[in-house]
Chains A and B, each alone.
Chain A
Amino acid sequence: MRLILTAAAIAALPLTVLAQDDDPIHQAVEARHGFYQMLAINMGTLAGMAKGDIAYDEAAASTAAANIEALTKYNLPSLFIEGSESGKAEDSAAKPDIWANLDDFRAKFAGLGEAATGASEAVKGGAENVGPVVGKLGEACKACHDKYREKS
């Protein structure tokens, strides 16, 4: 009997893990963080080249910029589902203001898309072409962070 109970308890363990994985809010927050992480890796490449910390490499710059262009075509605001704001969802840094200003929030993300448009071509031709692209993208990052990201 005890053996069966122990076995059942052990068998049930993954279910609790699964339950969190299945939670759409948890998934959305994780997906957002993954999105920003991908954005950060590519932004890091471009910013490093603009500052001269990383040697300029036209192909690498263009790839990073193309990745950012592609990422901004993803419908990120759709991951900001109800209940995934900071304070409610674990690890979330999304200010509740987002849900009170959804149109503006979407416009901010569209602004990032606009800033990214043509970036993969714009960064070609020399390190000096990377700075202005990083500047435009960074401005779009900041516009949204200032308003909608929780400052821990």
Chain B
Amino acid sequence: MAGGPRKIRLWDPLLRGFHWSLAFFVILSWCLGQFGPAKMTLHFWSGYAITGLLIFRLVWGFVGPAPARFSHFLRGPGAIRDYASHMFLRQPSYWPGHNPLGALSVIAMLAVLAAQVTTGLISDPDDYINVGPLAKYVASSTRSTAVGLHELGANLILLLVVLHIAMILFYRYWKHEDLVTPMLTGEKELPEEIARAIGGDRPTPEGERTGR
């Protein structure tokens, strides 16, 4: 068998739906917060949508298909160091999923978004039109601290999103590896021997069925 490329199924449809919905609502929330109308009803609803998406991702991280599971992509410091050490090689990583370093970014993104949702829910900026629905359950000093943290969180999210896009460009142009297509189609092209080494997964109809 030649080492030709073979497509493996990587990201399941729900995970892809989650990813692009999250991207959409995070950008929407951020822009509404920054440039939106003073009455932030839409920002609130967009935030609720993100809350739902985060809950889904948390659950999916335990019960979803292997590439979506935390246990599958969260690795120890050794694996992270190992991955980082040849990250700058000008060749594709062919990593079937979140690589050990990227996994940290996934966790950072989810944690910052969860914190952002929390501070948003309890924020009270003292304008009587945009009061977080859970603000009344916390102390008034917490309510106003939350406003400051929510603003800090928006900056952190911007930073993480910029890093995310920068890394995609780095993989695309430095490592010649396309990370976007797999997130759109769910399929990633791997050399035959790598695909086989990782268990082959289910080959797609246009792939070689015999590989199973």
Residues of A with Cβ closer than 8 Å to B? Answer: 40, 43-44, 46-47, 134-135, 137-139, 141-143, 145-146, 151-152
B119-134 residues at the A interface, CB under 8 angstroms:
125-130
Q: Does B51 contact A (CB under 8 A)?
A: no
A142 near B125: Cβ-Cβ < 8 Å: yes
Cross-chain pair count, CB within 8 angstroms: 43
Which of A47, A143, A146 interacts with B128 by CB under 8 Å? A47
Look across to chain A and name the residue whose beta carbon is closest to the beta carbon of B144.
Answer: A152
What are the residues of chain A within 8 A of B129 when measuring CB–CB?
A: 47, 134-135, 138-139, 141-142
User: How many residues of chain B get a CB closer than 8 Å to chain A's CBs?
Assistant: 14
How far, in angstroms, from A135 to B127 measured CA to CA in the complex?
9
Q: Does B39 contact A (CB under 8 A)?
A: yes
A141 near B144: Cβ-Cβ < 8 Å: no
29 contacts between A and B (CB under 8 A): A43-B128, A44-B128, A47-B129, A134-B128, A134-B129, A135-B39, A135-B129, A138-B38, A138-B39, A138-B130, A139-B38, A139-B127, A141-B126, A142-B125, A142-B127, A142-B129, A142-B130, A143-B38, A145-B125, A145-B126, A145-B127, A146-B125, A151-B144, A151-B147, A151-B148, A151-B151, A152-B141, A152-B144, A152-B145
CB of B156, distance to nearest CB on chain A (Å): 15
How far, in angstroms, from A138 to B124 measured CA to CA in the complex?
12
A139 near B39: Cβ-Cβ < 8 Å: yes
A141 near B128: Cβ-Cβ < 8 Å: yes
How far, in angstroms, from A146 to B145 measured CA to CA in the complex?
14
What are the residues of chain A within 8 A of B125 when measuring CB–CB?
A: 142, 145-146
What are the residues of chain A within 8 A of B38 when measuring CB–CB?
A: 138-139, 142-143
What are the residues of chain A within 8 A of B130 when measuring CB–CB?
A: 138, 142
B124-169 residues at the A interface, CB under 8 angstroms:
125-130, 141, 144-145, 147-148, 151
How far, in angstroms, from A143 to B39 measured CA to CA in the complex?
11
Interface core residue of A139, A143, A145 (most chain B CB under 10 Å): A139
How far, in angstroms, from A44 to B38 measured CA to CA in the complex?
18
What are the residues of chain B within 8 A of A134 when measuring CB–CB?
A: 128-129
How far, in angstroms, from A152 to B152 measured CA to CA in the complex?
11
What are the residues of chain B within 8 A of A43 when measuring CB–CB?
A: 128
Look across to chain B and name the residue whose beta carbon is closest to the beta carbon of A43.
Answer: B128
How far, in angstroms, from A152 to B148 measured CA to CA in the complex?
6
B128 near A137: Cβ-Cβ < 8 Å: yes
Look across to chain A and name the residue whose beta carbon is closest to the beta carbon of B147.
Answer: A151
How far, in angstroms, from A126 to B133 measured CA to CA in the complex?
25
Interface 0/1 of B6-29, CB less than 8 Å to A: 000000000000000000000000
